[in-house]
Structure 1
Amino acid sequence: MQIDNKKTISQELLNKCRKLINKKFDKNKIEKIESEDNFIKALIEGENFNIFYDMLKEEYSKKLFEKIVRYRYMLAFYPNVHQNFKRELFFSIKYGTISTIFWIRKMIFFLITKRIFLPKEVGAFALFHIISLKQYDVKNIFEVKEDATIFDIGAWKGDTAYFFSKKCSNKARIYAFEPDDYAFKILEKIKDKYKLNNIITKNILLSNAEKEIDFISMIENTPTIKKNAITIDKFVEENNFEKIDYIKMDVEGAEKNILEGSIKTIKKFKPFLAIAIYHGGKLFMEDFYNIPIFIKNVINEDYEYYIRTFSPWGGETILFCKPKKI
């Protein structure tokens, strides 16, 4: 997609997206879907999309931005496409954010050559994104140093913590935060089994304030329980950190809440940030146009912004914030 600078980015992208469906749906159907979908409503309003696009440092990130918007717009008109593998495959080939064929080939190669050597306790898809597609190892943008202090927020069963641990030296300190009790047990098991001595596990729920929260596990048929949450700022203050180099955050839609409780820490230490922005809403991706604006309003002058996505379906989209001091 080439952008016409006479129009705003949101207007130009919206017009291009509408051309894709004008002959496939009648006017009333298009208006109905657009009026009910939060992502498209925000695109029509435009402000957040325009600001986010202008934030991006490089042309590749901007091209990826356009592809993500197109994919998510089309998904609103074909919301059930993921229920059928064949339809999903053709849909992703036509509208995918990255090459579906490339992704499938990489996945097959990973399963044949690498999966057997990695922790079986962790899902193949998570390890594939992190190990083969280098989700948290982006050259000149997000590359952890050997002696880094890292906050892995949303460590789950240990996929990213495992990667960071192997990437870093024993001098590193990788704080793996995971509030889900079941996942946390597996995280600790992996740490002990693979002798990942630079990982410090924390069964802590993080949020924007110290309060009691109804915690919903990602494990099916697990009852909701009440947990006490704290902020990153409070955790950092209580533990007297002298530096924090990197913060990775993928917490199934709770990113903005946790960021709200991290402002002092981010301003003080200016860490590299890797924040998931693909959650939110019935068809996902509402965080895409909300979280970057929040971050910009808090830390704009200190960072450069990039995006990468690691799935043809727009999932695994990460906002990378690189401190300008580097």
Structure 2
Amino acid sequence: MVNHAKTEQLKDLFADKKSSHVLDKILRFRENISAQTYLQNDPVTQYFPEDIDLFAHLNQGIRMIDCGAFTGDTLEQTLSIFEKRKQSLDYIALMEPDIQNLQALQANVKKYVDRCDLFVLPAGAWSSSQILQIQSNGASSQIRKLQGQPEEGVFAIPVVAIDEVFYGAKPNYIKMDIEGAEIEAIEGAKQTIADYSPVLAICLYHRASDLWNIPLRVHEINSNYNFYLRVHGDMGLETVIYCVPRLSAALNITS
């Protein structure tokens, strides 16, 4: 189902015509899946789209939180993109709750410690700090609330609120690809989003209603963002909302 009232609200937030066209294509495909409405992916780079200047407003180094770092498979690309753009890096914090991914993640971090301050937080992003469960499934592991004795492939994990762990570190770029936990993680980052206006790159495709609920919630928390919508995968997968602080918000950010 599509909530047309909320998708119209979402259109009002977009900073470019392309985002409105992308949304229209997504909605047509959802309502009538066919070869004629097939949604092709955008060739721009996911999390660093060439047609959106995410970091023009920054006059300090990147302080990035990668929520859903997986095995660090994109770390080399991330570092190379920042270096190519001559964007200085203060740190990248890599959050990954799945123990089956952590060994590979830690090994990748060791390869690049001479290029940037990197640290791994073996926890998921959530609305508050507590113990939950994860259904371990590689790149698509899902966090869920405690449900008695865990069955095979389910493990207890710590989750944390970004406000409770990173607020003092003043992050200015937060990426979230956390298999449906994005709304919970945003609730746990409300103060950080309100006070520091970090650039946000948040996946919208894990739950149907995320397409409108996530950007509208971000707008409720901080109304000084420009919003851009891009689709980086086939069939509407890898749909990302990019939230970039307007100049008025950027000028008020504490460095």
- Quick check: TM above 0.5? yes
Match for 2:214 among 277, 291, 306? 291
Whichever residue aligns with residue 305 of structure 1, its letter is F
Q: Cα deviations across residues 2-47 of structure 1 (Å, max 9, x unaligned)?
A: xxxxxxxxxxxxxxxxxxxxxxxxxxxxxxxxxxxxx23x3xxx32
Q: Secondary structure at the match of 1:252?
A: coil
Q: Which residue of 2 aligns with 1:9?
A: none
Query: C-alpha distance in 1, partners of 2:80/2:53?
Result: 19
Query: C-alpha distance in 2, partners of 1:133/1:309?
Result: 9
Q: Which residue of 2 aligns with 1:135?
A: 46
Q: Which residue of 1 aligns with 2:78?
A: 164
Shift of 1:298: 1.3
Shift of 1:94: 2.5
Q: Kindly indicate which of the two structures has a greater share of residues assigned to helix.
A: 1
Q: Equivalences for 1:112-127 in 2 at 5 Å?
A: none
Q: Is the 8 A contact 2:193 2:221 kept in 1?
A: no
Q: Aligned pair 1:64/2:22, yes or no?
A: yes
- Whichever of the two has the greater Rg, that structure is 1
Q: Cα deviations across residues 116-142 of structure 1 (Å, max 9, x unaligned)?
A: xxxxxxxxxxxxxxxx74112123332
Pick closer, same or farther for the CA change 1:247–1:186 going to 2, 3 Å: same
Q: Which residue of 1 aligns with 2:195?
A: 268
Q: Equivalences for 1:207-246 in 2 at 5 Å?
A: 207-219=126-138, 223-237=153-167, 240-241=168-169, 243-246=170-173
Match for 1:154 among 45, 50, 68? 68
Q: Secondary structure at the match of 1:273?
A: strand
Q: Cα deviations across residues 52-107 of structure 1 (Å, max 9, x unaligned)?
A: 111111111100100000111124xxxxxxxxxxxxxxx4x5222226xxx7xxxx
Q: Secondary structure at the match of 2:39?
A: coil
Query: C-alpha distance in 2, partners of 1:172/1:161?
Result: 15
Pick closer, same or farther for the CA change 1:260–1:222 going to 2, 3 Å: same
Moved over 4 A (4+): 143-146, 194-197
Query: C-alpha distance in 1, partners of 2:152/2:112?
Result: 28
Give the TM-score taking structure 2 as reference length.
0.81
Whichever residue aligns with residue 97 of structure 2, its letter is P
Query: C-alpha distance in 1, partners of 2:7/2:44?
Result: 27
Whichever residue aligns with residue 90 of structure 2, its letter is A
Q: Secondary structure at the match of 1:98?
A: coil
Pick closer, same or farther for the CA change 1:253–1:196 going to 2, 3 Å: farther
Whichever residue aligns with residue 158 of structure 2, its letter is N
Match for 2:39 among 97, 100, 105? 97
Q: Secondary structure at the match of 2:234?
A: coil
Q: Is the 8 A contact 2:14 2:20 kept in 1?
A: yes
| Number of equivalenced pairs | 229
Shift of 1:161: 2.9
Whichever residue aligns with residue 158 of structure 1, its letter is G
Query: C-alpha distance in 2, partners of 1:48/1:190?
Result: 41
Shift of 1:222: 5.5
Identity across matched positions, percent = 24
Match for 2:110 among 184, 192, 214? 192
Q: Which residue of 2 aligns with 1:180?
A: 98
Pick closer, same or farther for the CA change 1:194–1:271 going to 2, 3 Å: closer
Pick closer, same or farther for the CA change 1:274–1:94 going to 2, 3 Å: same
Pick closer, same or farther for the CA change 1:270–1:158 going to 2, 3 Å: same
Give the TM-score taking structure 1 as reference length.
0.64
Query: C-alpha distance in 2, partners of 1:254/1:236?
Result: 18
Q: Which residue of 2 aligns with 1:129?
A: none
Query: C-alpha distance in 2, partners of 1:174/1:96?
Result: 36
Q: Is the 8 A contact 1:249 1:274 kept in 2?
A: yes
Whichever residue aligns with residue 156 of structure 1, its letter is F
Query: C-alpha distance in 1, partners of 2:241/2:152?
Result: 31
Shift of 1:197: 4.4
Q: Cα deviations across residues 287-310 of structure 1 (Å, max 9, x unaligned)?
A: 11211121121112x111110111
Q: Aligned pair 1:55/2:13, yes or no?
A: yes
